[in-house]
A = this chain, B = another copy of it.
Amino acid sequence: MLLKHHLSLKQIFSFTWKVDLMLLGCCTLVYLLDTYWLAAHVSIPVAVSAVLGTAIAFFIGFNNNQAYDRWWEARKIWGALVNDSRSWGRSMLYYATAPGNPATQAVVRHMIYRHLAFITSLKTSLRKRPDEYYTRYLTQEEIAEVQKQSNIPNALLNMQTRDLEQLRESGVIDGFRFIELNQLIVRHCDSMGQSERIKNTVFPPSYVYFTQVFIWFYVIMNTLMMTESIGAWAIPFGWMFGFVFHVTHLNGITLMNPFEFQPLGIPLDNIARTIEINTIELLGDEPVPAPVQPRLDGLYVM
């Protein structure tokens, strides 16, 4: 997640240099082509190319809308994980603790910590970056057990359910508390599956790809047209138009995959850490981990 509202020229350049170069190259080429070969033959009416620009602006707008919605949906899912994690810790701690029974209390505390393993392993699997952080909240047997399965966070939820059933069977919790706690596990499972859905569903590539093709169509046509009236000035102005369209399109594309490990993605590290802090403070344990620090001089947080 970017934190700063004003980007330096250097940051803009590092974000766009590739498309800048391609645009300048393309516009220069078109200018030369038009000046030395086409000029006499083709003089496209201005309004015609204007339609193309307007139409493409729509299609970019469409892509951006859907991309933003995916990004915001992803953020909401992890917001729900924060809420449900707090409710899980709170409810387990108070509803499932038979007074004066240390064995049960240990089980319950372990279930609360195991939820942190669920959160951090889900983060790891969404980002596809190898990371064993989640193992710190599990026993050796549990680590061995979950690593045999293809979906680690799901395996952890299965354990939570198994232990909840134990608590119910042994009478530590009654049916009413069982319902409340089970519904939280179902909600964890829903959020996990929703995250995976966004992660695994490719935004229809035909939209993205053809929109890019159309922008290049427009850049060519527009430069062609401007060459006839303003000569070599068509190159910087052609770049400018291309810049506006391509950068807006790129903005959308970076939001399309909100769980990627990149500065514009959802700050999963930060959110997962918040959950850890809230949980460990609830239990009154030490040490409480520090919040995730922004990177690159406060530019973004992961």
Q: Are B2 and A150 in contact (CB under 8 A)?
A: no
Q: Are B86 and A189 in contact (CB under 8 A)?
A: yes
Q: Are A2 and B202 in contact (CB under 8 A)?
A: yes
User: What is the chain B residue whose CB lies nearest that of A263?
Assistant: B206
The copy count of this chain in the complex is 5
A241 at the interface (CB under 8 A from B): yes
Q: Which of B54, B214, B233 contacts A41 (CB 8 A)?
A: B233
How long is the Cα–Cα vector from A141 to B5 in the complex, in angstroms?
Answer: 42
List which A163-205 residues lie within 8 A (CB) of chain B. Answer: 164-165, 174-180, 182-183, 185-186, 189-190, 192-194, 196-197, 201-202, 204-205
Per-residue CB contact flags for chain A residues 260-302 toward chain B (1 = under 8 Å, else 0) read 0000100000000000011001100000100000000000000
Q: Which residues of A pack against B, CB within 8 Å?
A: 1-7, 15, 41-62, 64-66, 68, 71-72, 75-76, 79-80, 82-83, 86-87, 90-91, 93-95, 149-151, 154-155, 157-158, 161-162, 164-165, 174-180, 182-183, 185-186, 189-190, 192-194, 196-197, 201-202, 204-210, 214, 217, 221-222, 225-226, 229-231, 233, 237, 240-241, 244-245, 247-248, 251, 254-255, 264, 277-278, 281-282, 288
Q: Are B83 and A43 in contact (CB under 8 A)?
A: no
Contact residues in B for A254 (Cβ distance below 8 Å): 206
How long is the Cα–Cα vector from A93 to B158 in the complex, in angstroms?
Answer: 9
Q: Are A201 and B1 in contact (CB under 8 A)?
A: yes
The 23 sampled A-B contact pairs (Cβ below 8 Å) are A2-B206, A6-B209, A7-B209, A43-B229, A43-B230, A46-B47, A47-B47, A48-B222, A51-B241, A52-B53, A52-B244, A55-B245, A68-B204, A75-B197, A75-B201, A76-B197, A79-B194, A79-B196, A149-B281, A154-B278, A175-B175, A217-B240, A221-B237
Contact residues in B for A205 (Cβ distance below 8 Å): 2-7
Q: Are B201 and A165 in contact (CB under 8 A)?
A: no
| A201-B75, A205-B7 given; A58·B57 CB < 8 A | yes
